[in-house]
Structure 1
Amino acid sequence: MSRYRGARLRVTRRLGDLPGLTRKSAKRAYPPGQHGQARRKRSEYAIRLEEKQKLRFNYGISERQLVRYVKKARAQEGSTGTNLLKLLEGRLDNVCFRLGLGPTIPGARQLVNHGHITVNGRVVDIPSYQCRAGDVVAVRETKPSKQLAETNLAFPGLANIPPHLEFEKTKMVAKVTGRCEREWVALEINELLVVEFYSRKV
């Protein structure tokens, strides 16, 4: 199974705030389960695993996909952790989410899957499509697509659009001017722990 379809608040209670997964906030501040309120000392492995799971659930990717992204990030120049976050932020479903076209990343993924989004004038229905500098992302010129995007734009998941995306709200057209900078990543995460988690496995 490529993505999580279970209870989202259960995940946020365990891992903390995941803006890409859900906009709801849990009423209980402790992890779910029988031993959720028990204070336990976590091992270094458990801490790294938790950070890795944050990435997986927030961006809605499978373990196999994340391993692939880690390998790509290693092959690029610069910090592997920062490169990894930039690759995940460059996914088409995430770009749509950051523009406010989807309330969450799963919502934006559905928008892409159903053919409501175009890239450089062509319909792209692959959520993992990697957006590059110069790409023009737009809502398809059909009434259902426009109505759906307008509804989502009224209540965006995140308030601020990162500077690497230039968005004309009236035309529902955005241009990707570069890669997302580290400080504009909405998820609170220590990406170095994710790299350490995979250092012995990949």
Structure 2
Amino acid sequence: MARYTGPKSKIARRFREPIFGPDKALDRKNYGPGMHGASKRRGKQSEYAVQLMEKQKVKYTYGVLERQFENLFHRASAKEGVTGENLLKFLEARLDNAVYRLGIAPSRSGARQLVGHKHITVNGGVVNIASYHVKAGDVIAVREKSKSMEAITNSVAGHRVNKYSWLSWDPATLSGTFLNYPNRDEIPENIKENLIVELYSK
């Protein structure tokens, strides 16, 4: 899957969830896209289709490509613990996701853009790789010359302090620390990771 740049409401309606954030179109039309709308009869999905749909939802949610996702899954399965939970922890540890969770950007796609344009530092050094894996104790900050950017100041202004327990935030320095991997029950996304594990186990 190439990086998706099309209409996000259409994808959100496919999964019937606001995976890209609040969506008025989804509120108005909480059913799949298509010319027949809500009246279209949809047959019962196969087990494989349900599992595949869950994987696609996670990829769209976190903005991860197919090969990246597969590599993350293999890392998660090799790590001690529950594979599905490990997968979500690795996704949460991506730099673009951490930037989004800290409130530096209002969306994950916005966070990817900030990282790619070298507005973000990790432990004092500029990192422009969105998939960079942050570790416990890493300090993620806005680059000094980027602190006055309107997109960043507007996003930070609406940031709620300590919204996520695995991150700390210092509004004075526009920096945050990745404290540890989150527990599964702390991750708010509606994801059935067991379906993804079942899909890859076939």
Give the TM-score, by structure 1 length. 0.91
- Compare 35-44 and 128-137 and name the one that shifted more: 35-44
Q: Is the 8 A contact 1:117 1:124 kept in 2?
A: yes
Per the alignment, residue 169 of structure 1 pairs with: 171
Find the aligned partners of 2:3 and 2:100 in 1 and give their Cα distance: 17
1:49 aligns with 2:73: no
Instruction: Name the aligned partner's letter for residue 71 of structure 2.
Output: R
Find the aligned partners of 2:67 and 2:37 in 1 and give their Cα distance: 29
Higher RCO (CA-CA < 8 Å; seq separation 6+): 1
Find the aligned partners of 2:125 and 2:37 in 1 and give their Cα distance: 48
How many equivalent residue pairs? 198
1:195 aligns with 2:197: yes
**What is the CA RMSD across the aligned residues, in angstroms?**
1.9
Find the aligned partners of 1:9 and 1:160 in 2 and give their Cα distance: 29
Instruction: Name the aligned partner's letter for residue 138 of structure 2.
Output: D
Find the aligned partners of 2:80 and 2:92 in 1 and give their Cα distance: 17
Per the alignment, residue 67 of structure 2 pairs with: 64
1:134 aligns with 2:137: yes
| C-alpha spacing 1:16/1:154, structure 2 compared with 1 (3 Å) | farther
| C-alpha spacing 1:18/1:84, structure 2 compared with 1 (3 Å) | farther
Shift of 1:23: 3.2
What's the % identity of the aligned pairs?
43
| C-alpha spacing 1:56/1:93, structure 2 compared with 1 (3 Å) | same
Q: Secondary structure at the match of 1:142?
A: helix
| C-alpha spacing 1:76/1:145, structure 2 compared with 1 (3 Å) | farther
Find the aligned partners of 2:178 and 2:115 in 1 and give their Cα distance: 17
Gap regions ≥5 residues in structure 1: none
Residues 111-130 of structure 1: matches in 2 within 5 Å?
Answer: 111-130=114-133
Find the aligned partners of 2:18 and 2:29 in 1 and give their Cα distance: 15
Find the aligned partners of 1:145 and 1:183 in 2 and give their Cα distance: 35
Find the aligned partners of 2:43 and 2:168 in 1 and give their Cα distance: 46
1:15 aligns with 2:18: no
Per the alignment, residue 105 of structure 2 pairs with: 102
1:82 aligns with 2:85: yes
Find the aligned partners of 2:22 and 2:105 in 1 and give their Cα distance: 11
1:29 aligns with 2:35: no
Find the aligned partners of 2:47 and 2:7 in 1 and give their Cα distance: 27
Q: Is the 8 A contact 2:147 2:174 kept in 1?
A: no
Find the aligned partners of 2:143 and 2:150 in 1 and give their Cα distance: 11
Q: Is the 8 A contact 2:120 2:143 kept in 1?
A: yes
Shift of 1:40: 2.1
| C-alpha spacing 1:58/1:86, structure 2 compared with 1 (3 Å) | same
Gap regions ≥5 residues in structure 2: none
Q: Secondary structure at the match of 2:110?
A: helix
Give the TM-score, by structure 2 length. 0.91
